[in-house]
Amino acid sequence: MTDRISVRGLRARGRHGVLAAERELGQEFVVDVTLLLDTAPAAAGDDLGKTVDYGELAQDLVKVVEGEPVNLIETLAQRLADVCLAREAVRTAEVSVHKPAAPIPLPFDDVVVTITRSRS
């Protein structure tokens, strides 16, 4: 059985991007993560230690977004997936990074990169 825990719409300011202005000014990024894991052991013992503390996870994800800048949101997504997979219970992580203020000179709603990573 595989269960899911999701955190959606997590917002943080970062300085990621290829353009100098993106690095200088920064912008808001929005992160969605879905974790695949077995929550039955946690539920059976009502034990947070056997699942994922999503509050702690959210704080760790924000630290990555606010941290060292990268050129590509693909790279940022990989770093966020690594944070998710560092949790022992997590088997697979799907991470979406939204860049709603991407420097595109046309009307648009959002730019999103979504990756899925699993434990080896």
Helical spans, DSSP H, in the chain: 20-25, 40-45, 54-66, 73-85
68 by Cβ neighbours in 10 Å (0-12 / 13-18 / 19+) ranks as exposed
Round to whole Å and give the CA distance between 76 and 30: 12
Catalytic residues: 99
Question: Do 1 and 38 meet the contact criterion of CB atoms below 8 Å apart?
Answer: yes
Question: Do 91 and 119 meet the contact criterion of CB atoms below 8 Å apart?
Answer: yes
